[in-house]
Amino acid sequence: MTARRASFGAFVAASADAGRLVVQPRMGFADPRRMRAGLERTRAATATTAGTLTVDSYTRVGDLAAARAAVADGARLNGYPIATHPAAVTRALLEGLLDDGFPVQVRHGSARPEAIVRALTAAGLDATEGGPVSYCLPYGRTPLRRSVAAWARACELLAGTARPGAVPHVESFGGCLLGQLCPPGLLVALSVLECLFFVQHGIRSVSLSYAQQTHPGQDEEAVRALRRLAAEFLPAGVDHHVVLYTYMGVYPRTPHGATRLLEASARLAVRSGAGRLIVKTTAEAHRIPTVEENVRALETAAAAAALAGAPAAPAGPDGDGGEVLEEARTLVETVLDLDADLSRSLPAAFERGLLDVPFCLHPDNPGRSRGLVDPAGRLRWAATGAMPIRADTAVAAPLTADGLLAALHHVARRYDLPHPGPEDGHGRPPAARPAVRPAPSFGPAPASSPTAT
């Protein structure tokens, strides 16, 4: 490929300077021809787009033998097996598409990403995402210390083997974790900490993620807090932007509900100053979406962003993040106080319970925290375990199984209504339901499930 290429981060920055939100799909197919067709349609969409190669689940968990067997048998996978297809095949797939105006990012979900990073750099790519915590705790039982070591090696490999003049880019998945019912202070803190980890291991361009949650005002506070903490904690000269994920929890089942939620995420991205949006489709609650459905989602989000107007004035009592900022700053500083080297302090923080992801069954997660949706629709802490932050003292009763289900379906139920309430459907509390038994936790996604990245 001879076309000139800006770095992934530079492309997003230039788009932001021009007043355009970058929109990006989750998309991955095993067949290189089908994958190329998806990228072609993404590039041709009426939007400012970045392309995605989402990796299959076998590759994600390091079962390359199963990925090779599936490719040999012509089996349909839920992503592109980048470490199985020869680098020449991936380079040919990208030929004529990847250039200064259309970057491509590899999204995967792996706690041990070295093989994926080797494959993507061999194909001429230099942008990926994930993280030592955010791609370990939700997705399996890889020990956290092993994931941290693997991600350190992967970052150093990406930084050291990129094409001449490139600025490799890594996006933290920390703003999502399990996707839902995690109060935003922890999401913001993990995203900042993971990006600091990337920088410590040679990466000079990062993106900090945040997944749209249950209340638009709280979400706006969270993205503003993320931007402020990134400016404070990331070293000078490190390129960075914020990427917003359209809601990652139980999705509306109706086309109108799914479309309204996507449009709300695009407006949120513009209001809060995010540079990029990962979209979802009207098929999200039912199956893996088609290329056509992904393109429709990209164009819908771009149109909603274009109509959103200029970013709103800063929110929160301090002008830029409110209580989310205070909580996230406390968590970040607590971890950094353990050890400036995040390869040591991140595992230590989980061992001591100073970081604790609600509803996560990974053996290295303390499992003593719980989140809930309050009557106003905001995410609160029902329990914080040993974390240096307070639980909501107004919580009158423990979360029950029925209460958990109501909270998980809060957003989908609101947007599926024929006429959602104010504030993009989040203005009214969910209907009360009787408690039936103690709430179960839920575990990691199986390796055969669609990747959540």
Q: What is the pLDDT of residues 61-99, one digit of tens each?
A: 999 999 999 999 988 899 999 999 999 999 999 999 999
Tell me if 56 sits within 8 A of 28, measured CB to CB. yes
Q: How far apart are CA 213 and CA 187, in angstroms?
A: 11
Look at residues 24, 54, 356, 329 and name the one whose alpha carbon lies nearest to residue 207.
24
Q: How far apart are CA 169 and CA 161, in angstroms?
A: 13
Residue 174 reports pLDDT greater than 70 = yes
| pLDDT tier at 178, thresholds 50, 70, 90 | confident
> Residues in the chain, how many?
453
pLDDT at position 436 is 31
Q: What is the pLDDT of residues 283-340, one digit of tens each?
A: 888 888 899 999 999 999 999 999 987 665 554 434 455 899 999 999 999 999 999 9
Residue with the bigger pLDDT between 2 and 35: it is 35
Residue 256 reports pLDDT greater than 60 = yes
pLDDT at position 394 is 76
Residue 119 reports pLDDT greater than 60 = yes
Residue 437 reports pLDDT greater than 70 = no
pLDDT at position 312 is 58
Q: How far apart are CA 156 and CA 145, in angstroms?
A: 17
Q: What does DSSP say about strands 104-107 and 51-54: parallel, antiparallel, or unpaired?
A: parallel
Q: Which residues contact 450 (CB under 8 A, 6 or more apart)?
A: 57, 78, 288
Q: Which residues contact 109 (CB under 8 A, 6 or more apart)?
A: 55, 57, 60, 130, 135, 139, 451, 452, 453
3-state DSSP of 99-141: ECCECEEEECCCCCCHHHHHHHHHCCCCEEEECCCCCCCCCCC
Tell me the average pLDDT of the chain: 87
- The CATH architecture of the domain made up of 8-306 is Alpha-Beta Barrel (3.20)
pLDDT at position 25 is 97
Rounded (to 5) percent helix, strand, coil in the chain: 40, 10, 45
Centroid of chain to Cα 41 = 23
Look at residues 202, 238, 237, 185 and name the one whose alpha carbon lies nearest to residue 343.
202
Q: What is the pLDDT of residues 367-378, one digit of tens each?
A: 999 998 888 889
pLDDT at position 320 is 56
Tell me if 406 sits within 8 A of 430, measured CB to CB. yes
Average of per-residue pLDDT across 6-14: 92
Residue 392 reports pLDDT greater than 90 = no
Average of per-residue pLDDT across 419-442: 40
Residue 162 reports pLDDT greater than 70 = yes
Q: How far apart are CA 61 and CA 133, in angstroms?
A: 15
pLDDT at position 322 is 86
Residue with the bigger pLDDT between 280 and 419: it is 280
Task: Give me the torsion for CA of 119, 101, 238, 190, rounded to 10°.
Answer: -70
Q: Which residues contact 74 (CB under 8 A, 6 or more apart)?
A: none
pLDDT at position 420 is 59
Residue 240 reports pLDDT greater than 50 = yes
Task: Give me the torsion for CA of 436, 406, 249, 321, rounded to 10°.
Answer: -120
Tell me if 21 sits within 8 A of 279, measured CB to CB. no
Q: Choose the weakest-confidence range: 128-142, 175-189, 305-319, 415-429.
A: 415-429
Look at residues 190, 156, 222 and name the one whose alpha carbon lies nearest to residue 365.
190
Look at residues 451, 443, 452 and name the one whose alpha carbon lies nearest to residue 77.
451
Residue ranges per structural domain of the chain: 8-306
Q: Choose the weakest-confidence range: 193-207, 209-223, 238-252, 396-410.
A: 396-410
Structure tokens of 117? Answer: 């990073």
Q: Choose the weakest-confidence range: 105-109, 164-168, 301-305.
A: 164-168
| pLDDT tier at 453, thresholds 50, 70, 90 | low
Residue with the bigger pLDDT between 166 and 232: it is 232
3-state SS class at 96: coil
